[in-house]
Structure 1
């Protein structure tokens, strides 16, 4: 038995290359559950793993793809049986473990989540790690007191995967969403997702000497980090929270502690990779109910395994809008 997969290989000079190949089933890693993959997606980490690896890939040859959704083929774990629909995000699958850019995957049962009622496997990958992370961020802000009517919620990197889903969820829940983008051509797209205000990236991507500015934002989901996050912290309302989900603008944080000790601002770290199972169930349940499917479908860019090398390079350059859904069987 064979299956198609995007295989990344490294030559003797340390250069990597990616190509779609037919692989024997015996090459699958040992795991509890074998899944016939329907769809995967493209995240920033996937771009790294398709290309030079970014230090994420331990051994080659390697099959990337940190997300997948499909149907259980075989299972040695009582929690899953053949025919069950499942979704996987995180757990370093696609990094240190073979991932979802293949027609088959074999993983540990603990890493899987049953597909929520009302979602298809294609919907699940339109959501993917990006949408899952966005929902975790919304939940964290709500857990720290954010409510509709508190004021505008800022979403940085709004046209990207996390930002797009976060914008759609927040708008659907009744929040006023201010979307930050450096690409003017995405303004209509962001408004279609529910953004009521567009903020040019140039307005907030540099730090200022003043540690505090006018209280503007009731909450923030930040996918950028760096100087932009530092600037935003000084613009938060008293007691408001920022959910930090990414570092597209850099890993450093050139900030002061003033917003924390004078305004009680909270900086909430959002990890989606090692998230406990109960949090995953809660987030996926919320996604099924709180993310409008018509807006999700409008974000989708379809792709196949053969498109992945080009898409991997594009996402590293910030050139991918919305959500890519990869049909691994096309």
Structure 2
């Protein structure tokens, strides 16, 4: 396949002219080295993308870089024999839009060691509705199950339930056989959250007590918020339950006592999706294409945008208006 001389990319700079991101024409020579070149079909928008694209968070470690921590498309060139022209592939995290050019461009050049062949059971579009958000939710469940989280410990709470990770977690956890309680301050979306598999939708006040220990209400959960909500969730978790920490939508701070850990044996499990080992990464994508595959992906994808619409999506997400997943189409 002949490759274009230039193509559009959402590129982020930080120099004497300030921190800024926008669309510009670049060539393959502008991209980081890599064994696999793909023509981008889809990407997505994650909270980390909004932080990186606006400079609200210190995400990028070098400049300039193409934004977008997720990408999926078809191979157009490869020096690695494991990939051939026409193969459908995806990459999430793995340094994209952090130390390497990401997925917000017509073409991406990728390190073969992180390229995932599209699993049977997923389309490219579905893989990017999932993206880092779905991978993070699945990784949280994977880690909790490794630590013996079972449905009979009680329901799993999901905070930040209307965001990308939250909506996918509800659907994934319920598909895996767990009862799920959604925690959200957006009561208008309660019916939607129940349609994804939540048996209960609770307001934020359910996790606003501030006491170091409470009656055990949840078997565990996934927190996307941080701060007082995470502390309260840990305080209400049943003996030997697990709470996975995957986000800081409210704050990165955590002020609490050790009582849930030493009295109930509760575990706080970290979820760092970007640097997940390849063997675990492959295993999680197999789950996401099979037994953990959400059955409401089209509903969870609440918005589609092109590169031109990214700044508005970033602003909405950072102002707390995130709802479901935003797919970036090419």
Separation (CA, whole Å) in 2 of partners of 1:99 and 1:271: 18
Aligned residues between the structures: 325
Give me the CA root mean square deviation: 1.5
Map 1:194-209 → 2, pairs under 5 A: 194-208=197-211
| Matched residue, 2:190 | 187
Please say if 1:322 is aligned against 2:329: no
Separation (CA, whole Å) in 2 of partners of 1:120 and 1:281: 16
Quote the offset at 1:99 in angstroms.
0.5
Map 1:50-89 → 2, pairs under 5 A: 50-52=53-55, 54-89=57-92
Pair 1:273–1:15, CA change in 2 (3 A): closer
Quote the offset at 1:294 in angstroms.
3.8
CA contact (8 A) 1:228 1:249 kept: no
Kindly provide the CA deviation profile for residues 95-136 of structure 1, in whole angstroms up to 9, marking residues without a partner as x. 221100011011211121111001111100000001001001
With structure 1 as the length reference, what TM-score do the two structures score? Answer: 0.94
CA contact (8 A) 1:227 1:249 kept: no
With structure 2 as the length reference, what TM-score do the two structures score? Answer: 0.94
| Matched residue, 2:140 | 137
Quote the offset at 1:265 in angstroms.
0.6
Separation (CA, whole Å) in 2 of partners of 1:48 and 1:289: 32
| Matched residue, 1:279 | 280
Separation (CA, whole Å) in 2 of partners of 1:35 and 1:75: 9
Kindly provide the CA deviation profile for residues 34-57 of structure 1, in whole angstroms up to 9, marking residues without a partner as x. 111110000111112211262222
SS of 2:213's partner is: coil
| Matched residue, 2:162 | 159
SS of 1:289's partner is: coil
Please say if 1:110 is aligned against 2:113: yes
Mind listing any 5+ residue stretches in structure 2 that lack a counterpart? none
Quote the offset at 1:176 in angstroms.
1.3
Mind listing any 5+ residue stretches in structure 1 that lack a counterpart? none
Please say if 1:244 is aligned against 2:245: yes
CA contact (8 A) 2:172 2:294 kept: no
Please say if 1:127 is aligned against 2:120: no
Please say if 1:305 is aligned against 2:328: no
